[in-house]
């Protein structure tokens, strides 16, 4: 088994999707007895030492909390760490990679919607990720993607060699994301100020590809005129979709929209599991981790047929087209059908149980082995 250095220096403090991927993977690699080293920010040194006690954890300089310094350090400091710890392979879990690594590099490419739909991404971020992805396709020993849809899009859009691409589905931490009890649901409902009132839940960034304006307009179509209309709760820690405020301005006064901001992980089971519907009508995802996490909490989930999402949801979620009229019709159907929501919730929890970080780690280890043997 090769010694692998996982570069965790890009993980943000809020442990978004990238953080959940890297944390879940490192813990599972440790449980699989991988020969492991981890490069990270100083604030994460104790975290990774706890997640992987047998791993060699190396903290980078304080300046790498800033992206320009981190990218510069990646080119010189990361290869030095790889040599220092005797790594046979470097795993770069966020697109970019050192140009002269000294050992084979495995790069995770999470998403190619930056090429398929560049208009729904921040232009600065899209320019960086597109450049890093092209470099990875040319130079990496192996490429890891979280879905077959992403693999196929890489081949179609970037002419990537399919024999160098390994699919490794994400997992979900079932200890954190679990069907909540009544007390968990009540506690979250009370914190939101809903006190048992029904609601439609959304979790994610306010980015154009998340399709929040059409979700708002679709919810208005479904809820307006209902006697006990569900509220819409948009749980998000930020974003840049300028159409969100315009859509909110057209919401009738009798309907209620809540924007609680960032929700702690401990609140998410109650938030997802307590919702009438978790609506995540994205225009495209590399995987769709929030969909899986909501499923793991026993939620009735509404998403789209786009990109990887059917690979995650299977027959255990409801689907809609991404336009407001279709979202509204799908929400109306689910709001009115208690039995359908219950059946989806049960099927979702069962399907989510099939996605584990243990299985993901096995797929990653196989990719590392192939890289080391090239």
Concatenating the DSSP letter of every residue in 108-123 gives E----HHHH-GGGS-H
Contact in structure between 306 and 286 (CB atoms under 8 Å) = no
Going by pLDDT thresholds of 50, 70 and 90, the confidence category of residue 125 is confident
SS3 content of the chain, % helix, strand, coil (to 5): 50, 15, 35
- 137/323 Cα distance (integer angstroms): 33
Going by pLDDT thresholds of 50, 70 and 90, the confidence category of residue 43 is very high
Q: In the predicted model, what is the mean pLDDT of residues 302-324?
A: 97
User: What pTM, to 2 d.p., does this model score?
Assistant: 0.93
Q: Which residues contact 207 (CB under 8 A, 6 or more apart)?
A: 120, 121, 122, 239, 240, 241
Residue-wise pLDDT for 269-296, tens only, equals 999 999 999 999 999 999 999 999 999 9
Going by pLDDT thresholds of 50, 70 and 90, the confidence category of residue 241 is confident
Residues in the chain: 374
- 198/87 Cα distance (integer angstroms): 52
DSSP state of 201: E
Q: Which residues contact 111 (CB under 8 A, 6 or more apart)?
A: 150, 284, 285, 286, 287
What pLDDT is attached to residue 178? 97
Assess whether pLDDT exceeds 90 at residue 42.
yes
Q: Which of 66, 70, 157 is nearest to 111 (CA)?
A: 157
- 96/109 Cα distance (integer angstroms): 9
Q: Lowest mean pLDDT of 9-13, 89-93, 183-187, 230-234, name the range.
A: 9-13
């Amino acid at each position: 088994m090769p010694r692998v250095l996982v570069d965790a220096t890009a993980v943000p403090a809020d442990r978004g999707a990238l953080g959940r991927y890297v944390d879940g993977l490192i813990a599972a690699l440790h449980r699989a007895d991988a020969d492991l080293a981890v490069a990270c920010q100083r604030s994460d040194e104790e975290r990774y030492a706890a997640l992987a006690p047998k791993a060699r954890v190396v903290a980078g300089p304080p300046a790498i909390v800033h992206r320009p310094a981190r990218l510069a350090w990646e080119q010189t400091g990361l290869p030095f760490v790889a040599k220092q710890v005797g790594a046979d392979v470097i795993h770069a879990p966020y697109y970019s990679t050192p140009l002269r690594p000294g050992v084979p590099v495995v790069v995770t490419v999470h998403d190619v919607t930056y090429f398929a739909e560049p208009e729904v991404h921040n232009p600065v971020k899209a320019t960086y990720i597109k450049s890093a992805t092209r470099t990875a396709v040319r130079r990496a020993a192996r490429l890891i993607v979280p879905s077959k849809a992403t693999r196929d899009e890489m081949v179609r859009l970037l002419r990537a060699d399919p024999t160098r691409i390994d699919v490794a589905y994400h997992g979900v931490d079932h200890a954190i994301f679990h069907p909540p009890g009544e007390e968990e649901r009540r506690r979250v409902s009370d914190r939101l100020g809903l006190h048992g009132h029904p609601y439609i839940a959304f979790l994610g960034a306010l980015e154009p590809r998340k399709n929040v304006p059409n979700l708002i307009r679709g919810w208005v179509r479904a809820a307006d005129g209902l006697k006990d209309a569900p509220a819409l709760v948009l749980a998000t820690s930020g974003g840049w979709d300028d159409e969100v405020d315009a859509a909110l301005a057209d919401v009738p006064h009798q309907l209620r929209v809540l924007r609680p901001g960032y929700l702690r992980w401990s609140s998410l089971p109650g938030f997802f599991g307590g919702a009438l519907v978790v609506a995540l009508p994205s225009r495209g995802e590399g995987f769709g981790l929030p969909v899986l996490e909501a499923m793991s909490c026993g939620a009735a989930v509404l998403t789209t047929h786009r990109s990887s999402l059917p690979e995650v949801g299977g027959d255990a979620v409801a689907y809609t087209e991404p336009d407001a009229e279709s979202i509204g019709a799908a929400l109306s159907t689910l709001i009115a059908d208690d039995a359908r929501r219950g059946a989806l919730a049960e099927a979702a929890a069962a399907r989510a149980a099939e996605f584990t970080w243990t299985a993901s780690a096995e797929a990653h280890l196989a990719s590392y082995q192939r890289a080391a043997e090239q």
